[in-house]
Chain A
Amino acid sequence: MTIDTVDRTATAAVSLQGLSKAYGDKTVVRDLSLDIAPGEFFSMLGPSGCGKTTTLRMIGGFVDPTQGAVSLHGVDVTDLPPDKRDVNTVFQSYALFDHLSIWDNVAFGLRRRRVAKAEMTQRVGEILELVQLTGRDKDKPNALSGGQRQRVALARALVNRPAVLLLDEPLAALDLKLRKAMQVELKRIQREVGITFVFVTHDQDEALTMSDRIAVMNDGTVHQCGTPEDIYERPETRFVAEFIGTANLMTGTYGAAGLHLPGGVLLPTGRLEGVEPGGEVSIAVRPEKIWLSDLKPDMVQTDGILRATVYGGATTTYLFEIAPGIELSVLEQNLERARTEERWADGERVRLGWHPDHSLVLR
């Protein structure tokens, strides 16, 4: 099944049901269930060891699940080896065939499928042009740079026009500029051809900029699955809040008046959804949501002592201590009226505030 023949209106492109993987007594993936829609750019994001790569390899067929099932376009492929599944993979190490030329590398999949010579030549030529490697087809992989090898790996997978493409941290080895350029390229290719991308990364910026949906993983499970905006603005767990961006975590006991923080500080949060009075709760606030001037009366307000000012070109980050052991990071754009010379001195007391809606209650 290729992208041309797949039934788009049908079921999920990739469906994982109760997938688990354990090595001995070490469980790497725990009861994972996901549905990925056709044509989606879907990312699996998480720190090293969270199980995202193992999950990807189970989709590809390189790892056998201890439990659970993998379906591709409605077909159960759990027992099928990689060569019988209609997915292609871009490996983190690229895994190019060093003894073959670029042309032979890219044509490898087509040859296995016994595609006619004329069609093969055309498709390989097209894909090499797409990744801007025309003219290098006779070279061997070790004559190419890292970025070029990455593109060969991509071409080799794409030329087969798979319905689903798996990418295992493909940009990890590239330098910043090249990585940014490739991110744009990948997104463009994905949009053009309409292939379902399953993209594994540990870089949150990468995931946020490229993905239609993200599954944030830790310790073998998915903490949250949603659009980049969902993940960022409405993190559901403490881990997601802290992994993506800065969380500005505040933990305390919730009472009628608000959140009681250590040191006797009371944060007038107003009503917090789904929290019982008397219980301990953590809330998070994103740094850019905190105001340092023009505070409105309905905002959650508190005093903070300035501990540090960090200039970042387009923005400035301030660190305020609002209670013993609790520091809030505040991000402000350096607009004209925000003078670059110091607004406050270290140790000065400043009033902070944010909209009550921006208080994120975390599990």
Chain B
Amino acid sequence: MTRKPRFAIAVTVVFFALLYLPIVAVVLFSFNERKSLTVFEGWSLQWYDAVSKDRDLIRSLETSLQVSAVAMVGSVILGVLLAFGMVRARSRLASAANVIMLIPLVTPEIVTGAASLMLFKGIGLQPGLTTLMLAQTTFSISYVTVILRARVAELNPEIEEAAMDLGASRRQALRLVTLPLLWPAILSASILIFTIVFDDFVLAFFTSGVDPQPLSVRIYSAIRFGIEPSINAVGTLMLLGSILLIAIALLVPRLFGRRNNSLDLFGG
């Protein structure tokens, strides 16, 4: 066995440390006694208390949850349809759909944001809850489709034929055989999208209105225009929520008995 590369391991350790450093700072200072952001004085839950009493903040949280849920449902429905279409159809529309679906993935969010804002103003929609939901759904479709398409392509098309051969109609075949096999991937993709949309800032910034503000935009304003320690509390809570959701997303396929997990989605 070869010697372990000490330099590389050192880099890795430092890397992970730096990766978590700001998070540690935020979490730690969310419990800070004093208002200071640089000196830790003692343990206190006052900022969490302030957060729970901040009605505007709660409203922003509700807004973000709403938008994430709507984007999740909308993009998954459209994404499933697209995934099947792209894998099974042989028409020119399939290749066109493929391209259209990929472009958002390589477009910086600022471009999508600016373009979306333009479109809504052009249609006559004022930036608000509706525009935010529409924009987030649009952007999410790409992610969902990429994830699901890989899974649909893996499916053996003979499975549906076998179901029909045994007496199931095409609709029954899809319901009884294909969708159950797709379900873990759909669930993973849903949770993933929910988290992504919830945390998203740039697109939300461009397409949301003054009221109601999604949580990420509110945090941005707070950071820009008035440092408030309760941001730390909000940040910590959001972090916990995201971790929880991602953990669920990673565990779901394993619960369904699939041997590989959705980590293969990244870089694979």
Q: Which residues of A contact B (CB under 8 A)?
A: 60-62, 81-83, 87-89, 91, 93, 95-99, 108-109, 112-113, 140, 156-157, 160
Chain B: minimal CB distance from A111 (Å): 8
Cβ contacts under 8 Å, A82 to chain B: 161, 164-165
Chain A: minimal CB distance from B201 (Å): 39
**Do B168 and A83 touch across chains, with their CB atoms under 8 A apart?**
yes
A-B contact pairs, 13 of them (CB 8 A): A61-B164, A62-B161, A62-B164, A81-B164, A83-B167, A83-B168, A88-B166, A91-B158, A91-B161, A93-B156, A93-B158, A99-B177, A99-B181
Q: Do A81 and B165 form a contact, CB below 8 Å, given A95-B156, A99-B181, A140-B257?
A: no
* Residue from A61, A89, A99, A160 in contact with B162 in the complex, judged by beta carbons closer than 8 Å: A89
**Do B169 and A83 touch across chains, with their CB atoms under 8 A apart?**
yes
Which B residue sits closest to A113, measured CB to CB?
B167
Which A residue sits closest to B177, measured CB to CB?
A97
Total inter-chain residue pairs, C-beta < 8 Å? 63
Which B residue sits closest to A62, measured CB to CB?
B161
Cβ contacts under 8 Å, A99 to chain B: 177, 180-181, 256
B170 at the interface (CB under 8 A from A): yes
**Do A108 and B163 touch across chains, with their CB atoms under 8 A apart?**
yes
Cβ contacts under 8 Å, B156 to chain A: 93, 95
Q: Is the interface of B mostly helix, strand, loop or mixed?
A: helix
The CA-CA distance from A258 to B262 in the complex, in Å, is 73
For chain B, residues 228 to 258, give those with C-beta under 8 angstroms from any C-beta of chain A.
Answer: 256-257
The CA-CA distance from A157 to B164 in the complex, in Å, is 12
Q: Do A156 and B166 form a contact, CB below 8 Å, given A97-B177, A112-B172, A140-B257?
A: yes
Cβ contacts under 8 Å, B162 to chain A: 89, 91, 95-97, 156
The CA-CA distance from A123 to B62 in the complex, in Å, is 55
**Do B166 and A160 touch across chains, with their CB atoms under 8 A apart?**
yes
Cβ contacts under 8 Å, A98 to chain B: 181
The CA-CA distance from A112 to B172 in the complex, in Å, is 10
The CA-CA distance from A93 to B168 in the complex, in Å, is 19
Chain A: minimal CB distance from B91 (Å): 13
Contacts A109-B166, A156-B166, A157-B165 known; 14 new A-B pairs at CB < 8 A: A60-B161, A89-B165, A91-B158, A95-B156, A95-B158, A95-B162, A99-B181, A108-B166, A112-B167, A113-B167, A140-B257, A157-B166, A160-B166, A160-B167
Query: Number of residues in B with C-beta < 8 Å to the partner?
Result: 19
B77 at the interface (CB under 8 A from A): no
The CA-CA distance from A150 to B162 in the complex, in Å, is 14
Cβ contacts under 8 Å, B169 to chain A: 81, 83
Which A residue sits closest to B169, measured CB to CB?
A83
B227 at the interface (CB under 8 A from A): no
B111 at the interface (CB under 8 A from A): no
Q: Which 9 A-B pairs have the closest CB atoms?
A: A112-B167, A109-B166, A95-B162, A95-B158, A82-B164, A83-B164, A89-B165, A99-B180, A91-B158
Chain A: minimal CB distance from B181 (Å): 6
Cβ contacts under 8 Å, A88 to chain B: 165-166
For chain B, residues 145 to 191, give those with C-beta under 8 angstroms from any C-beta of chain A.
Answer: 156, 158-159, 161-170, 172, 177, 180-181
Q: Do A112 and B161 form a contact, CB below 8 Å, given A99-B180, A140-B257?
A: no
Cβ contacts under 8 Å, B164 to chain A: 61-62, 81-83
**Do A95 and B166 touch across chains, with their CB atoms under 8 A apart?**
no
Chain B: minimal CB distance from A119 (Å): 16
The CA-CA distance from A160 to B163 in the complex, in Å, is 13
Cβ contacts under 8 Å, B172 to chain A: 112
Cβ contacts under 8 Å, A89 to chain B: 161-162, 165
The CA-CA distance from A113 to B172 in the complex, in Å, is 13
The CA-CA distance from A113 to B165 in the complex, in Å, is 12
Chain B: minimal CB distance from A53 (Å): 12
Which B residue sits closest to A86, measured CB to CB?
B167
Cβ contacts under 8 Å, A160 to chain B: 166-167
Cβ contacts under 8 Å, A140 to chain B: 257
Which B residue sits closest to A109, measured CB to CB?
B166
Cβ contacts under 8 Å, B165 to chain A: 60-62, 82-83, 87-89, 157
The CA-CA distance from A262 to B42 in the complex, in Å, is 105
The CA-CA distance from A81 to B177 in the complex, in Å, is 18
Cβ contacts under 8 Å, B177 to chain A: 97, 99
